[in-house]
Structure 1
Amino acid sequence: MKVLVKGAGVAGLTAAFEFAARGAAVTVAETRPALGGNASWFAGGMLAPWCERESAEQPVLDLGRGAADWWDAATPGLVARRGTLVVASPRDAGELDRFASRTSGHRRVDEDEIALLESDLAGRFRRGLYFPDEAHLDPSQVMTALHDRLAAMGVEFHFGTNARQVSGFDRQIDCTGMTAFDDRLRGVRGEMLILRTPDVSLSRPVRLLHPRFPLYVVPRTDQRFMVGATMIESQSAGPVTARSMMELLGAAYALHPAFGEAEIVETGVGIRPAFADNLPRVETKGEIIAINGLYRHGFLLAPAMARQAADLVFNQDATKELAHETDGQRRSA
């Protein structure tokens, strides 16, 4: 089977892997000149299905449970399985209770255990929630590694190419996100910062709850931290706004004052495609399979959606082949 995957974001790369692993000859066409620069590149990279259940529907938890295992198998050594720590200031203790009531897979931790989990937060927070089964990754790192593995598997990549210029495929997998021609999609703008400081050490994502502006900080390599993220109902891909910059930095400072002296080494904006219910879809349109609507859960949900797409295609072909064989047997009889 010859398969064309349109789009080299997280949905496209995971789909390419699922189809190539099942023996398909896969080609990936991407309009950008090189890997990166899309919404996937500016993601937090948190594989946190239990935390996300606080504001997401049950399918996000169900589909996201196996994400860490998938990424671990596809990009060995690049998934950090250290859980997620959720904290709140004493005045926002009610936010912590609300978060706990809407989620599962956690245990409550006190000031002493917070200090054991993250020594740099010792004495700063009295109560928290620890989600031990969650994980995180660096999006640019794993996407590069997955691209390289796919190339080694024989997947062909065509960057700077309009997919309509490529033909001769049995199936097309449309993973083009906001550029897809689907008027059901809306754009949700997410802004993030990368800070660098030697004065803070974190080993896992930390979420700081606030009734107006909740924050997450995800540790990266080389003393860098991803700080995010806004969720603005907008398709504007312009630079990070001054308001968002101040809110992100203010929340980071509230988590640890040393972030006030950190270097801002990168800012980014990603427009995440979402359907009205904020849940993803795998849909069939003739010979085209569309994967879209990953919203803010790209790395968490892309593996499950890629598997659904591959199952759909290969099960369809198996059904057609069985029907053809059965019909042939009837004619012979």
Structure 2
Amino acid sequence: MSDVTIIGAGVAGLWAARSCLARGLHPRVIDRVGPPGPHGCSWWAGGMLAPECESATAEPPIVTHGRQAIGLWSDVTHVIKQGTLALAPERDRGELDRFAARTEGNTACDAAAIAALEPELAGQHRRGVFFAAEAHLDPRQALTDLIRTLADAGVEVETGAVEPKDLSGPVLDCRGLAAQGDVPGLRGVRGEMVVLHSDEIHLSRPIRLLHPRHPLYVVPRANGIFMLGATQIESAARGPMTARSALELLSAAYALDRRFAEAEVVEMGADLRPAFADNVPRVLRRGRVLHLNGLFRHGYLMSPALAEQAAEVLATGHMGDLVHED
């Protein structure tokens, strides 16, 4: 017997199930395709826990709640706490200055400091900005670890296509864009990624390459794997990555380190992330249904805080600052 039904087994739905269990609520988790995989945008994430970098453009709640993510995720999966390094081509050094001015918790780096942080980038970049308090994780491993912790508590992800109206009792809707019919104001923001393999390149932390038109982040993973991603593309178009997008990502990676030209392309992917007009995720309360949605590009950064607030509403009725009555 379940106390709440959670629809959607992406990062938000799985975190919500974990948070419910922590409050003594037994959740039932249902997803139209089943456990996480390439069908969900959580699969295509970068896994950066970077609230200070996000403060350049994000609203204050993203930064405030995002700062909790490293500690919360550390109880679930392996979190690499090596910070974030932001760089820019010399011709675009104005982008670096503007980024540093809009963010907090950063330290300016000269060529020697960059070489100390990332020895293999020595001599390739003259100026950077370092965010020591940030971290990253492997999203797919994190999803696997969440699934395992739920299974240990007797919660399995069921496969089935349901909507809140089909269910009785409390419901937590974590379907992302699939909930557009029930959550007005959602839009799709396209995210794209390329996965490369190289035994020649070694990076310790995510690198953000600032560019006025083609910003890029590179996230190192185990065994010579690197994830390249575009920070944000305002498009609701689904479908495979285009040749133009792939060329832009690979060209930006080449500008970061020319050895990426010899890397093997392992995978390419794209998906749509749900977002509200202000890009701030929230929990909408409508009677017995809570809609946790609008995670934008902050899925791994904000899911823990949103899940905690949603579970608190279900357990005690307390409305946190990310919970809105609709």
TM range (shorter): over 0.9
Q: CA deviation at 1:11?
A: 0.7
Which structure shows the higher helix fraction? 1
Structure 2 Cα separation of the partners of residues 220 and 249 of structure 1:
17
Within 5 Å, give how 1:201-240 maps onto structure 2.
201-229=202-230, 231-240=232-241
- Which amino acid letter does the alignment assign opposite residue 290 of structure 2? I
CA pair 88-152 structure 1, distance change in 2 beyond 3 A = same
User: CA offsets per residue over residues 32-67 of structure 1, 9 Å max, x none?
Assistant: 144222101000100000001112111110110010
Deviations 1:100-141 (A, max 9, x none): 010001111111111111011001111111100000011111
Q: Matches of 1:250 and 1:153 in 2, distance apart?
A: 46
User: Which of 65, 68, 78 is the aligned partner of 1:66?
Assistant: 68
**Residue type matched to 1:162 in 2?**
A
Q: Secondary structure at the match of 1:163?
A: coil
User: Aligned pair count?
Assistant: 315
Structure 1 counterpart of 2:128 = 128
CA distance in 2, matches of 1:255, 1:106: 20
1:48 and 2:50 aligned: yes
Q: Specify the SS of the correspondent of 2:120.
A: helix
Aligned counterparts of 2:175 and 2:194: Cα–Cα separation in 1: 25
Partner of 1:245: 246
Would you say the 8 A contact 1:230–1:244 is kept in 2?
Answer: no
What secondary structure is seen at the aligned counterpart in 1 of 2:284?
strand
Residue of structure 1 in register with 2:41 after alignment: 39
Q: How many angstroms does 1:316 deviate by?
A: 1.9
The 2-side partners of 1:277 and 1:284 are apart by 18
- 1:61-100 equivalences in 2 (<5 Å): 61-75=63-77, 78-100=78-100
RMSD: 1.7
Rg larger in 1 or in 2?
A: 1
1:330 alignment partner in structure 2: none
TM-score, normalising length: structure 2: 0.93
Q: Is the 8 A contact 2:115 2:121 kept in 1?
A: yes
Structure-2 change in CA distance of 1:102 and 1:230 (3 Å): closer
Q: Distance in 1 between matches of 2:264 and 2:137?
A: 22
Q: Which amino acid letter does the alignment assign opposite residue 55 of structure 1?
A: T
1:88-237 equivalences in 2 (<5 Å): 88-159=88-159, 161-164=160-163, 170-180=169-179, 181=181, 182-229=183-230, 231-237=232-238
Distance 1:136 1:31 in 2: 29
Conserved? CA contact 1:291–1:309, under 8 Å: yes
1:3–1:169: 8 Å Cα contact kept in structure 2? Answer: no
The separation in 2 between residues aligned to 1:164 and 1:89, in whole angstroms, is: 48
Contact 2:214–2:230 (Cα < 8 Å) also in 1: no
Corresponding residue of 1:307: 308
Code of the residue aligned with 2:178 in structure 1: it is T
Change (3 A) 1:165 1:111: closer
User: Within 5 A, what are the aligned runs for 1:252-267?
Assistant: 252-267=253-268
Q: CA deviation at 1:166?
A: 10
Secondary structure (helix, strand or coil) at the match of 1:93 reads helix
Q: Deviations over 1:125-167 (max 9, x none)?
A: 11111100000011111001110111101213202x1235997
What is the alpha-carbon distance in structure 2 between the residues aligned to residue 317 and residue 85 of structure 1? Answer: 38
Shift of 1:234: 2.5
Quote the Cα distance in structure 2 between the aligned partners of 1:230 and 1:36. 21
Give the structure-1-normalised TM-score: 0.91
What is the aligned partner in structure 2 of residue 323 from structure 1?
A: none
Partners of 1:5 and 1:29 within 8 A in 2: yes
**What SS is found at the alignment partner of 2:158?**
strand
**Deviation beyond 6 Å, 4+ runs, structure 1:** 165-168
* Alignment gaps of 5+ in structure 2: 320-326
The equivalent residue for 2:269 is 268
Moved more, 256-265 or 223-232: 223-232
